Amino acid sequence: MARSDTALIMIDIQNDFCPGGALAVPEGDAIIPRINHLQKDFAVKVLTQDWHPRSHSSFADNQGGMEPYSLIDMPYGPQILWPVHCVQGSTGAKFHPDLQTDNADLILRKGFRSAVDSYSAFFENDHKTATGLEGYLRERRVHDIVLVGLATDFCVRYSAVDAARLGFGVTVLEGACRAIDLDGSLAEARRDMLDHGIKLAP
Ligand code: VGL
Ligand code: ZN
């Protein structure tokens, strides 16, 4: 029973975030069978794809000798530096081969501007530049969204919080997400999502 006003948004289920990838999330691939199964329950299905140019400013090796996972100040605020990942057109940027992608209505790419990272599927990390997803969902008459994917404490968290701020009803299926968990980032993400009225479901 697909509810026409609810969208399933599947965040960044790409090779580089799965075991063996450049920014592997522990058990990142374990969520895929459930997500494939869930898709039939949603009238609107959106996939997001982290999609960086090789020159992206979030890559540690583009910041002259900085270590991956260190923090720098960008004009838009603090930014964690990552290993090179999800480079446009690379194998690492492709969806995991087991993910069912044929049913998706929309594939939304993000993080394609060198100067600014984009964790959220709605706004880049400057919290101002829109990706267009809000307009897409509103034109499809979507009021509620269900979020799954990678990683709970980064792209899922920021997408969920932005969606809640925009007035969508938001549920995160934690069992269909996996976290990076850097220095307590998962606990902080859960607190932030609860503070924004997001429903955390198993
Ligand atoms: C992500 C770090 C860098 C994510 C993307 O999908 O959670 N995390 N780029
Ligand atoms: Zn990224």
Ligand 1 and 82: CB distance under 6 A = yes
pLDDT at 4: 85
d(CA 88, CA 51): 5
pLDDT at 188: 98
Ligand 1 and 84: CB distance under 6 A = no
Q: In what order do the strands lie in the sheet with 3-11?
A: 106-110, 42-50, 3-11, 144-150, 169-178, 199-201
Residue whose tokens read 């374990």: 30
**Which is the closest atom of ligand 1 to the Cα of 155?**
7
Task: Pick the residue whose CA is nearest to atom 8 on ligand 1.
Answer: 154
**Which is the closest atom of ligand 1 to the Cα of 58?**
3
Q: Which residues of 140-159 are buried (b: 16+ CB within 10 A; e: fewer)?
A: eebeebbbbbbbbbbbbbbb
Q: What is the pTM of this model?
A: 0.97
Phi, psi of 155 (to 5 degrees): -65, -35
pLDDT at 62: 97
Which amino acid, one-letter code, is at 10? Answer: M
> CB atoms < 10 A from the CB of 179, how many?
22
pLDDT in tens, the chain (202 residues): 467 899 999 999 999 999 999 999 999 999 999 999 999 999 999 999 999 999 999 999 999 989 999 999 999 999 999 999 999 999 999 999 999 999 999 999 999 999 999 999 999 999 999 999 999 999 999 999 999 999 999 999 999 999 999 999 999 999 999 999 999 999 999 999 999 999 999 9
Reading the block at residue 25, the tokens are 């999330």
pLDDT at 84: 98
d(CA 162, CA 153): 14
